[in-house]
Structure 1
């Protein structure tokens, strides 16, 4: 079956499914959202030493403006919407609002960071004096102790994708693997018990299909850095190892000649739990996935014991386990569910299933003021739908090695015309495999054109051009412009950062949107104060109660929002729902 997957063509039955106007209309109602990270820098291009601006609101509780690893690393979160242009419009307004509050600082245009002195120059994100806030900062201190702070300020774009509940109700028999007789009986009955059975089948189809999508996005994950990678070079100050095999672009810049995304390669953010710890997330089923991560947060790790827990009265990490919390596990794609107050993400998944899928391997496009553009979003939606509809056998240990190796090869050498990738039917040239997959997506794009006015095929054609002409990729454009201008990476990225700042300074935010953001900033500060006032135990007790929760035992921590309406209804994380969403790993 695995060999059949690599032929890349969607099964006729799955295409016929999307050909149904009712199904296609539901697909078109699917939601997309963005989480875009951006480093605040000084006018001379160094990490900003200033705190998160108070006018932006509380980074702990604001639903759209928060921080990642560092006080200087902003994370801008859009709501989930069916119209990708509306998502970009919201992201634009977030940028405009931020620029109004950061004075003469800039938002760095690239994924790879600016000139760095040392990890000590990178301030950890702070969230207030509550126990939840302390937990977030200690988690980040643990990341810095485990992997180094420099790696943690790499920025990216996370693309969130979900399909509406009626879609799963309609397609559960085809995608959920149920017997036709069961589905027919289910649909013909109106009893409460059969209605519950129908809902259970729909949830089963949703979770199984999303996990299949995750596996296929991993199999084809190398396509994302090839098509959208924009980090083929880095400032020498970023690379701490003297024995690197990167080539010298100039006196200040290192690169690989055919690199696409060093962010996704060996020098980018990588956690090393797999080396000697036995950790490997299992994506066979949702149950297997959550159990593998639960094992990691419950299991001590000798690698991290020397760091200590409380050293001279200060917490250095949340624990010395394989993972401090689930989000520490680096992955290019994750199944996600909104969390209740201080709920483990794995328990949210086990209790309520998968709400959306988060693709995390997209570089910030430094040629775009927003870091992402409309055609790219349309293609990613099509790509994720294709990966959802393709058959998806489980991943064997041998195929896992291929997936990991292909990802790094594409990141380091993706534009090499002779680059070969591994798959079940033997080695294949990256460009040949990519052209095969993009060609196989054409019938699906044609079907979705009925809902998008031809936009899906246009987005697909743009990626086919990149696959045929590597010089059209963002990574090739970066190196070409650096050569043409005689600039190293830091100088080039700084110039584009200035250009984007000028772009935003010539735009005006809609007054209603500005009022919304100002109101949310005030509300977020009030929520932070409410969290701080609600603390009823010391931090050590808080942490003990947090890690004591199980599937049968909810967390024994009183929610400050117990009487409030449920926060969040989207595939974008609800930052105020847990105080732990949007973590950097």
Structure 2
């Protein structure tokens, strides 16, 4: 913990900005695969009774027709946000027959790429663009990777917080603070991967025919004995083409310019795939990134976009509105994949990242950050693990405690002005540093061993238990009516968009990329 952090915390308290911390704005995007009663990936269409995946605000699909995504509205209350997310799951179970929601990040039984249906969004140009983009992802990275599920956590502070704390609520001042947060998050995210990584094992069908260094676990599973999250490993959201992309977070201008550069750079292997081949759209273009959202990263600066607006255009014109944390695995010990304690820890962690000094990141430090992330993914629970800081090897656990000291100081301040519980959850997470067996990744492996389970057997039993939980709950009639009406109105909106389509898809794409 630095003197600069203490100075900033004192300034926040003296300025009266602490009252704004009661209104941290949060949102969750949570993915779950639909599977059949046999645990095999469902190939059924997205249920119409859930609404339109294109226009529904809260229930949509990600890569696959079988990969549901639940999106909460923005909340400033943790419990109300989790209640909303729970209601979405209860409503979904009313509308998927005998199918089950998979509750682990690593997927169920798969039978190769062709067994994974790409999501459809109707015949409007906007809907077809989303579908073609996903076709491109399949050609570029394979469909297996796209079945991995996770949670995205959206976090922002009220604009009034910056006005009171900094005497400056300008777009530039707010964006600079969020970029500080981003850089420190990159530096420290290895700690999040250790504490919240919940994907240490995988089904044999996910790695068949692929090179890997995983250890067999029984007959039909593989795992990392000291690992934390295969989702964030080279088997998950890693890609050799993207490893050459350098997106700079030292300023919002550099971030925008470097990300746009990757969307404009032609990439010969993707050119060989083709774009529109005899009327068959295989991808949106042959550039290194089809669109900006294709860039896989652990955290993004975000701004709500307008129709046909690119994310970087929104950032350039209106600045950073919130950050999207993208490294959170589904917690299989929680029916909805996340709990209130984890959210309170993340709030303290993210505020710490904003307030701690945050120097620019150079290429050498980028390499250290990547190493620290990779070693935590593969060896995070090993006693001998070390990380690197400014060229020096440091004991993993000692450095984790040093960061937690600062996070706990921030949590103490939050507890004085928010609804409490932040410092308590930081102390609970600290215990996991000294006792790796308490981490979710270790608990999963121990449960598999204790029950002589394969990964599939463990995950299927967990999914079935959570299904029973949701099936036992009843929605208030007012909530059921609200969700039913929203599903119907989303279908109406999609039909309206399809009826109003009056230009070719090629013309639509040209207009989008020209914007």
TM-score normalised by L of structure 1: 0.86
Instruction: Report deviation, 1:425.
Output: 5.8
User: Does residue 381 in structure 1 map to residue 347 in structure 2?
Assistant: yes
Distance in structure 1 (CA, Å) of the matches to 2:231 and 2:211: 19
Contact 1:56 1:101 in 2 (8 A): yes
- Any idea what SS the aligned residue of 2:283 has? coil
- Any idea what SS the aligned residue of 1:93 has? helix
Distance in structure 2 (CA, Å) of the matches to 1:254 and 1:213: 35
* Residue matched to 2:230: 262
* Residue matched to 1:188: none
Contact 2:263 2:292 in 1 (8 A): yes
1:459 corresponds to which of 414, 422, 425: 425
Distance in structure 2 (CA, Å) of the matches to 1:522 and 1:307: 38
What does 1:188-337 correspond to in 2, within 5 Å?
A: 202-275=170-243, 278-337=244-303
Distance in structure 1 (CA, Å) of the matches to 2:479 and 2:251: 41
Contact 1:8 1:436 in 2 (8 A): no
Instruction: Report deviation, 1:279.
Output: 2.1
1:282-315 Cα deviation digits (max 9, x unpaired): 1111111111111111121112111001123210
Q: 1:522 to 1:10 in 2, by over 3 A?
A: farther
Q: 1:8 to 1:490 in 2, by over 3 A?
A: farther
Distance in structure 2 (CA, Å) of the matches to 1:258 and 1:84: 32
- Any idea what SS the aligned residue of 1:361 has? strand
- Any idea what SS the aligned residue of 2:327 has? strand
Contact 1:247 1:255 in 2 (8 A): yes
5+ residue gaps, structure 2 = none
Relative to structure 2, which stretch is displaced further, 67-76 or 79-88?
79-88
* Residue matched to 1:486: 452
Which 4+ runs in 1 deviate beyond 4 A?
Answer: 7-10
Instruction: Report deviation, 1:170.
Output: 1.2
* Residue matched to 2:442: 476
2:356 corresponds to which of 367, 390, 399: 390
- Any idea what SS the aligned residue of 2:70 has? strand
User: Does residue 159 in structure 1 map to residue 153 in structure 2?
Assistant: yes
2:328 corresponds to which of 349, 362, 367: 362
Instruction: Report deviation, 1:372.
Output: 0.2
* Residue matched to 1:505: 471
Instruction: Report deviation, 1:431.
Output: 1.2
Instruction: Report deviation, 1:242.
Output: 4.7
Contact 1:259 1:410 in 2 (8 A): yes
* Residue matched to 2:365: 399
Contact 1:66 1:76 in 2 (8 A): yes
Q: 1:240 to 1:312 in 2, by over 3 A?
A: farther
Distance in structure 2 (CA, Å) of the matches to 1:112 and 1:10: 40
Instruction: Report deviation, 1:17.
Output: 2.4
Instruction: Report deviation, 1:9.
Output: 6.1
Q: 1:258 to 1:403 in 2, by over 3 A?
A: same
1:89-134 Cα deviation digits (max 9, x unpaired): 0000000000000000000010000011101000000000001111
User: Does residue 353 in structure 1 map to residue 347 in structure 2?
Assistant: no
1:57-90 Cα deviation digits (max 9, x unpaired): 0000111000000000000000111111111000
Root-mean-square deviation (Å): 1.3
Distance in structure 2 (CA, Å) of the matches to 1:266 and 1:487: 25
Instruction: Report deviation, 1:172.
Output: 2.5
Number of aligned pairs? 515
5+ residue gaps, structure 1 = 1-6, 174-197, 550-585
* Residue matched to 2:5: 11
* Residue matched to 2:406: 440
- Any idea what SS the aligned residue of 1:216 has? helix
Instruction: Report deviation, 1:22.
Output: 2.5
What does 1:539-550 correspond to in 2, within 5 Å?
A: 539-549=505-515
What does 1:35-184 correspond to in 2, within 5 Å?
A: 35-173=29-167
Relative to structure 2, which stretch is displaced further, 241-250 or 153-162?
241-250
TM-score normalised by L of structure 2: 0.98
* Residue matched to 1:537: 503
Distance in structure 2 (CA, Å) of the matches to 1:218 and 1:507: 39
Distance in structure 2 (CA, Å) of the matches to 1:292 and 1:85: 38
Instruction: Report deviation, 1:137.
Output: 0.4
Instruction: Report deviation, 1:536.
Output: 1.6
Distance in structure 1 (CA, Å) of the matches to 2:447 and 2:5: 42
Contact 1:168 1:203 in 2 (8 A): no
Distance in structure 2 (CA, Å) of the matches to 1:512 and 1:294: 45
